[in-house]
């Protein structure tokens, strides 16, 4: 029987725990999971206990910038936007982690990192948590063409998931992905937080963004933030932009991010003849600058059904900017249509209709944005306080349970 954990606690635990935060990606590689891992390490070390990042080596790493330990194990190579492929098979790596006497191993990826933690547990049992962030079955089905190889990949993934003493998901919808890969066990819902503070951008800040991109006053600004990948439903966004332009609606669509399909996305934009309406900024690493973009936009357009949590929806809410999301997607969890956000179907026509209906209604956009800030925003401090309290529950359960010989 599965169970869900939503408890919110305002008081941090006094007991200092040592946590290994395992992740495939960590800065300088930037994505949702690397951001999550960094936030966990930052807040645990600053306010709660002691956390060490455990991640593959990256030739461009600047680990000296961080006031806590980053343990890097061997990587074979990097691909894409600097993603290292970890090689955790050397016994010394496992012994290095054991020697640090961690109370909990917390993996944020069920691939190399979770397998590394399995190898550690073969030598010494340490409570292990896995947060399942991403719909891995999508990548397997898209990229692994051989049926036999895909079957082995699913088996490897499933064993990594099952090896955890507790499995966390960031949204209820993520459970569907777990079930698709064959996991039938229990889980905890532990939502991610937002590292952007609640902020009202000044008119001067908003005017700066408009001047930078040559956007006249009064023209609605639409915003997308994320990796440049088709699976984020960017085709739906661009097709909706085409429909809006054809209907005579003026607007500017700002797209922030980078990714392996960026060139293809830009070519498609040119093909649709909407280059005068769509602005590509590239990746923005400065979080304060990014928040000004959120605060300047009239709405975030995020029709992704791939994302399991949709951090950008909460980031937009920090600046009281409402989001358009697909009904019944993970990103839509907690959102009520026209109250804390706007719901659409997974189609360009539906997205275009919603934008056209609300773009000129400033009072509605303001009210829904304020409701989003008040009701769906959650800070990382609150989110990680919940997680940290749960660590102790996992430890207590682990210590009070008889363990057979480790089978993973």
Q: What is the pLDDT of residue 10?
A: 42
Segments of the chain with pLDDT less than 50: 1-2, 4-13
Q: Is the peptide bond before 137 cis (omega within 30 degrees of 0)?
A: no
Q: What is the pLDDT of residue 7?
A: 43
Q: What is the pLDDT of residues 299-352, one digit of tens each?
A: 999 999 988 777 899 999 999 999 999 999 989 998 999 999 999 999 999 999
Domain with CATH 3.40.50.2000 in the chain: 18-193+381-399, 203-377
153-159, long-range: CB < 8 A, 24+ apart: 154/181, 154/182, 156/115, 157/110, 157/111, 157/181, 158/182, 158/183, 159/118, 159/408
> How many C-beta atoms surround the C-beta of residue 157 within 10 A?
21
CATH fold of 18-193+381-399? Rossmann fold (3.40.50)
Q: What is the CATH number of domain 203-377?
A: 3.40.50.2000
């Amino acid at each position: 029987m599965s169970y869900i954990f939503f408890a919110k606690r305002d008081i941090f635990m006094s007991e200092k725990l040592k946590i290994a935060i395992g992740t495939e990606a960590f800065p300088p590689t930037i994505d949702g999971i690397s951001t999550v891992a960094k936030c966990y390490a930052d807040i645990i070390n600053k306010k709660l206990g002691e956390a060490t990042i455990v991640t593959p080596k990256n030739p461009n790493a600047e680990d000296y910038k961080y006031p806590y330990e980053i343990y890097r194990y061997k990587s074979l190579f990097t691909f894409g936007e600097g993603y290292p492929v970890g090689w955790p098979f050397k016994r010394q790596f496992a012994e290095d982690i054991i020697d640090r006497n961690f109370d909990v191993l917390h993996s944020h990826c069920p691939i190399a990192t979770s397998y590394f933690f399995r190898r550690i547990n073969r030598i010494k049992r340490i409570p292990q948590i896995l947060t399942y962030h991403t719909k891995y079955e999508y990548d397997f089905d898209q990229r692994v063409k051989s049926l036999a190889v895909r079957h082995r990949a699913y088996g490897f993934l499933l064993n990594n998931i099952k090896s955890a003493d507790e499995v966390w998901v960031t949204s209820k919808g993520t459970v569907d992905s777990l079930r698709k890969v064959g996991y039938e066990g229990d889980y905890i819902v532990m939502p991610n937080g937002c590292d952007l503070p609640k902020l009202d951008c000044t008119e001067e800040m908003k005017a700066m963004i408009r001047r930078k991109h040559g956007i006249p006053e009064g023209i609605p600004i639409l915003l997308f933030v994320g990796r440049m990948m088709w699976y984020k439903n960017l085709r739906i966004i661009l097709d909706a932009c085409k429909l809006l332009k054809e209907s005579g609606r003026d607007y500017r669509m700002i797209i922030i991010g980078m990714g392996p399909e960026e060139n293809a996305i830009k070519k498609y934009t040119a093909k649709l003849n909407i280059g005068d309406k769509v602005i590509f900024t590239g990746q923005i690493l400065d979080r304060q600058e990014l928040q000004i973009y959120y605060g300047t936009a009239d709405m975030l357009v995020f029709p992704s059904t791939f994302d399991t949590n949709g951090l950008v929806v909460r980031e937009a809410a920090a600046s009281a900017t409402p989001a358009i999301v697909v009904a019944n997607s993970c990103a839509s969890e907690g959102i009520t249509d026209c109250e804390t956000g706007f719901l659409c179907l997974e189609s360009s026509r539906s997205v275009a209709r919603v934008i056209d209906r609300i773009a000129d209604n400033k009072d509605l956009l303001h009210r829904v944005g304020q409701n989003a800030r008040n009701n769906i925003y959650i800070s990382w401090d609150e989110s990680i306080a919940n997680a940290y309290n749960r660590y102790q529950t996992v430890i207590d359960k682990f210590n009070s349970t008889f363990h057979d010989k480790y089978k993973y």
